[in-house]
Structure 1
Amino acid sequence: MSDKKNVDFNSIYCGLQPDLGRFRLSQNGLGWKGGRDRTVIVATDDLKKMSWTRAARGFELRVLQTDSTVLKFDGFKPDDLEELKESVKAFYKISIEVKEVSVKGWNWGKTEFQGSNLNFSVTNKTMFELPLAQAIATNKPGKNEVAINFVDPGQPAPEGINPKDVDELMDITFYVPGTVAKESVNNDTNAEEDEDEEVNADMVFYETVKSKLELSQMTTENIVQFQEALCLTPRGRYNIDMYQDFLRLRGKTYDYKILYSNIIKLFLLLKPDEVHVLFVDIGLDPPLRQGQTKYPFLVFQFVREEEIDVDLNLEDEALDEKYENKLQKHYDAPTYEVVSNVFRALTGRKVTVPGSYRSHHGANALKCSMKANEGFLYPLEKSLLFIPKPPTFIPLNDIGVVTFSRVGQSGGSSRTFDMKFNMKSGNDIQFSSINREEYANIEDYLKQKKIKIKSEGNEDTIMSYTDLAGLDDDEDDEDDDYDSRKRRRTGDNVSAGASAGADDEDESPDEDFAPDSDSDVPEEYDSDAQGSSEGEEEAGDD
């Protein structure tokens, strides 16, 4: 064997590469060459350890380098093991370790962290490995549970593969019961007391996974960070880390990565109390997930008078060339203005603000209820938006007829009325407990938008408007984009928000959330006053 200069093996895969290549061993090192001029070369001095195990595509040779990097070559046949052993022993003076794989099918075992991999073993045999370097998030969906998410929303399929033919592991949840002993901080006289202390095993496991993810994801520096932003849907406080192509929401329990390309619309809305401003990211596709609950909307709330002084981590050249002066190097302005400007520049989406509609009290929205949830309905130029829970987006061109009920009751027995939107798709969206003083203003708004109106008390009387043809032409491309993505999602309900599934005071389930409730958000974020007036325009120009 020592007389041979090279030993070749054909039809070998390298890592997750879809194409086959040639694997070669020589005195100077080992290498792999596949299609499209893809080449991997490892020098002899960089080789540390090799192992042989069963894999999905035949048998696999794992190469551990001196810098702890692991390369995987699979597609070998069982008969190749002996030749590999002899060649590796002769060329590199290294023995190949044969590892057996557990095939018991048990779902309980032991976990061990080896570099960036998480090994799950049963009876001291590896059952599977998880490459944490490819994970995007981890969270705790329940007691004693730790979930790890792998698929990046919007992540393209491997090159050369049809996306419809790709099967990927999206997430995996571990059940970690019991407690473990707390490690001693030092070896002084308090060491015995430290050994008696115990912590939950699931929290230790969760923190370890989280540290591995943060280490692997620190490949680029963030442009700016907004700390402790109050999010109403899903409820909690999050740090918003803005990068060039995506943003990260980092909370106490949940950690999300959102591509800017998945954000369809942005709204900046003043609450009727004139104290708070709501910033809404709408149409996340795919939506955020907390357990079985999906959130296609993000609703942030900022204090109107709160200001921020921050510098962006961008060079002057990038500000001039890539962002075309849409961003500034330094900001000293109200927080909601800075956040909306940064989102608009990085996502490339316009920020929509309220239009000409004014309520009876001069606000941009009218107070109403959707089922048991109180909120605000914003009549905008091309849509209506109900927030905060459940956030509901209603494009004007999707509305068939608007039906009013309890409006014409004599005697003044009712101070409120109801309004139902009969959508062209067949769904009905109803809002109730609307002050009767708001009827004239919302009726004028619907007339201006040429929406058909009828009263429930007189089904034959329909206020119709013939000039409906031009409405669809006025809609911009973003409405069409939203509609197409909405149809791809399962279910026909356009209302998208639901209760969260986290047992946490900051990110707790929001079944009982109401914007006027003292128990849901801190006192400084409560709002029960009405009245507002703010100039509005389509904020592509701000």
Structure 2
Amino acid sequence: MATKTIQYDNIYLNLSSQPGKLRIAPSGLGWKSSALTEPFTLPLSEIRRFCWSHFARGYELKIILKNRSPVSLDGFAQEDFDGLASFIKQNYDMGIEQKEFSIKGWNWGDTEFLGSELVFNVNSRPAFEIPINSVNNTNLSGKNEVALEFSNVKDSPVPSAQADELVEMRLYIPGTTSKEDVAEGEDTEQNAANLFYESIKERADIGQAAGDAIVSLSEILLLTPRGRYDIDMYETSMRLRGKTYDYKVEYSSINRLFLLPKPDEQHVAFVIGLDPPLRQGQTRYPFLVTQFIRDEDMEVDLNIEEGLLREKYADKLKSSYDQPAYEVVSQIFQGLTNRKVITPGNYLSHHGHAAVKCSYKANEGQLYVLDKYFLFIPKPTIIITTADLARVTLSRVGMSVSASRTFDLTFSLRSGTSYQFSNINREEQSGLVRYLESKNVKIHNDLADEAQQSLLNAALADDDEEEGDEAMGETMSEDEDFRSASESDVAEEYDEDVASSSGNDEDEAGSG
């Protein structure tokens, strides 16, 4: 007679932080822990096969599922195998495959796709396995290197014990490989790294999109990172598809949205703040900066059922849009991400704009003055919260204030970080000062000190000139005396009277 259930204590589910009790029954299995309010259950109909291997906490029973990622149960003892194998054979009519992992420590091997996992093998033994649906982005970093970026969005109800986690992996894949051309019926040589990259993209998309996109936006211009991208927007995430790079962005990682008219009065910028930032090799992009032509219209229909639209997106989305492009995109993002779109407030520059033109280091851009933020775009995109400001300094380095038409603005944060924006028109000074004063921000105006110093230097220069004139007058009078005295001496030596008197003296001496 078959055993109805078996139970194991101190079993960890998917590297959970706390152990729980595992109970296996003919209809499936269940796991319960004090860390969860509801037990984790898995029906027999979803189970494809079982694997047994030496793992982090003793031995692991890995359950391969039909339609989702595998389930890991570890914490077993070696002697538990016989009882498990017997129960599974009797009740599920399945065996348990015993797998040995490679422990050589080599960093080279072969990759293969097994179901929903990418397996890295060393000498035909798995070294590690990666669930495909955890791959958030993949990019070709050079001719033979493929970068895999992993999602840190926790969609599992089981709390993880991992304080640190892997966010990126790079695989160097040299050489070429053959690929069967279905149309031609022949094998063609293709770059191995490129083929692996295309395979990852294809498989990662399966786990990413459960259905069609709600809306697809074509040829959207991004200033950061630079290029034109197609944006496919789903219920919980979006995908940016460019000529070189593809990105998947979870809506939960979007923390701010800004809609900003540019001072040229021809374009509008839509800025998307990300945490964690988008990664492109070693470069991080905490903001996506898109740009639209102000007069460009867009007409789109959302691919969403009326019932779901009324139930989930009531007063957030419309079934169709026919408006300026920047309004359509910003409203769709606001509805799907449930984030407020921040627009300029009451501040106006000298020329009536929400931003002032300036430079950050060697990059020219616009500094937007918003109700709670200062935002510099396009590159690098810098956001400064007014509540984090310790001091703002107005200065101009290396030039006389009286001759300068621009000034610098330095933001010093409470954290110790500082940002200096230069080449701001002097016409903007009074408006910026009034805004900072209204936010109770401490202002240090070096321009006033420099102006006073400039006036003092000018006054001292005038005094020096007057003293110089007096000194010159005295010198000139002394020179005149010197010249008159010299001229008299010369006259005595070369005057004709001198010769005649000399002759008279000789005559007198001769007559004597």
Fold equivalence (TM over 0.5):
yes
Does 1:175 find its partner at 2:172?
Answer: yes
1:416 Cα offset (Å): 3.4
Does 1:39 find its partner at 2:41?
Answer: yes
Question: For 1:2-36, what per-residue CA distance to the aligned partner results, in whole angstroms no more than 9, with x for missing partners?
Answer: x54457352355655664334547xxx56323224
Does 1:129 find its partner at 2:119?
Answer: no
Q: Work out which of the two has the higher radius of gyration on C-alpha atoms and give 1 or 2.
A: 2
Contact kept? 1:53, 1:60, Cα under 8 Å: yes
Specify the SS of the correspondent of 1:79: helix
Partner of 2:78: 78
The aligned amino acid for 2:363 is N
The aligned amino acid for 2:297 is E
The aligned amino acid for 1:10 is Y
Given the superposition, is the C-alpha separation of residues 69 and 355 from structure 1 closer, same or farther in structure 2, using an over 3 Å criterion? closer
Given the superposition, is the C-alpha separation of residues 285 and 406 from structure 1 closer, same or farther in structure 2, using an over 3 Å criterion? same
Of the candidates 397, 403, 420, which is equivalent to residue 410 of structure 2?
Answer: 420
Partner of 1:109: 109
- 5 Å-filtered alignment, 1:116-155, equals 116-153=116-153, 155=154
Contact kept? 2:3, 2:87, Cα under 8 Å: no
Partner of 2:284: 294
Specify the SS of the correspondent of 1:309: strand
Partner of 2:8: 10
Does 1:340 find its partner at 2:356?
Answer: no
Contact kept? 2:254, 2:337, Cα under 8 Å: yes
Question: For 1:333-375, what per-residue CA distance to the aligned partner results, in whole angstroms no more than 9, with x for missing partners?
Answer: 1110011112223333332323344444443322211110011
Specify the SS of the correspondent of 2:276: coil
Q: 2:70 & 2:371 partners in 1: Cα distance?
A: 56
Given the superposition, is the C-alpha separation of residues 384 and 399 from structure 1 closer, same or farther in structure 2, using an over 3 Å criterion? farther
Partner of 1:240: 231
Given the superposition, is the C-alpha separation of residues 103 and 71 from structure 1 closer, same or farther in structure 2, using an over 3 Å criterion? same
Partner of 1:273: 264
Does 1:184 find its partner at 2:177?
Answer: no
Q: 2:450 & 2:406 partners in 1: Cα distance?
A: 20
Specify the SS of the correspondent of 2:379: coil
Output the aligned Cα RMSD: 3.5
Specify the SS of the correspondent of 2:181: coil
Given the superposition, is the C-alpha separation of residues 92 and 448 from structure 1 closer, same or farther in structure 2, using an over 3 Å criterion? closer
Q: 2:414 & 2:65 partners in 1: Cα distance?
A: 62
Contact kept? 1:118, 1:132, Cα under 8 Å: yes
Given the superposition, is the C-alpha separation of residues 364 and 186 from structure 1 closer, same or farther in structure 2, using an over 3 Å criterion? closer
Given the superposition, is the C-alpha separation of residues 443 and 170 from structure 1 closer, same or farther in structure 2, using an over 3 Å criterion? closer
1:303 Cα offset (Å): 1.4
The aligned amino acid for 2:257 is L
Q: 2:233 & 2:183 partners in 1: Cα distance?
A: 39
Contact kept? 2:47, 2:66, Cα under 8 Å: yes
Contact kept? 1:225, 1:239, Cα under 8 Å: yes
Q: 1:379 & 1:70 partners in 2: Cα distance?
A: 50
Give TM-score, length-normalised by structure 2. 0.75
Q: 1:423 & 1:362 partners in 2: Cα distance?
A: 28
Contact kept? 1:454, 1:461, Cα under 8 Å: no
Q: 1:420 & 1:64 partners in 2: Cα distance?
A: 57
Partner of 2:469: none
The aligned amino acid for 1:131 is P
Given the superposition, is the C-alpha separation of residues 407 and 346 from structure 1 closer, same or farther in structure 2, using an over 3 Å criterion? farther
Q: Between Structure 1 and Structure 2, how many residues are aligned?
A: 444
Percent sequence identity over matched residues? 45
Contact kept? 1:403, 1:421, Cα under 8 Å: no
Contact kept? 2:30, 2:42, Cα under 8 Å: yes
The aligned amino acid for 2:171 is F
Contact kept? 2:61, 2:73, Cα under 8 Å: yes
Q: 2:364 & 2:90 partners in 1: Cα distance?
A: 76
Specify the SS of the correspondent of 1:240: strand
- RCO comparison, higher one (Cα < 8 Å, 6+): 1
Given the superposition, is the C-alpha separation of residues 395 and 7 from structure 1 closer, same or farther in structure 2, using an over 3 Å criterion? closer
1:148 Cα offset (Å): 2.2
Of the candidates 440, 443, 446, which is equivalent to residue 455 of structure 1?
Answer: 446
Specify the SS of the correspondent of 1:326: coil
Q: 1:287 & 1:186 partners in 2: Cα distance?
A: 40
1:185 Cα offset (Å): 3.3
1:41 Cα offset (Å): 3.5
- 5 Å-filtered alignment, 1:82-101, equals 82-85=82-85, 96-101=96-101
The aligned amino acid for 2:30 is K
Does 1:218 find its partner at 2:209?
Answer: yes
Q: 2:178 & 2:221 partners in 1: Cα distance?
A: 36
Give TM-score, length-normalised by structure 1. 0.71
The aligned amino acid for 2:44 is V
Contact kept? 2:396, 2:406, Cα under 8 Å: no
More deviation, 302-311/47-56: 47-56
Given the superposition, is the C-alpha separation of residues 185 and 257 from structure 1 closer, same or farther in structure 2, using an over 3 Å criterion? closer
1:454 Cα offset (Å): 1.2
Partner of 1:495: none
Runs of 5+ consecutive residues of structure 1 not aligned to the other structure = 463-542
Partner of 1:473: none
Q: 1:296 & 1:304 partners in 2: Cα distance?
A: 25
The aligned amino acid for 2:256 is K
Given the superposition, is the C-alpha separation of residues 319 and 117 from structure 1 closer, same or farther in structure 2, using an over 3 Å criterion? closer
Specify the SS of the correspondent of 1:103: coil
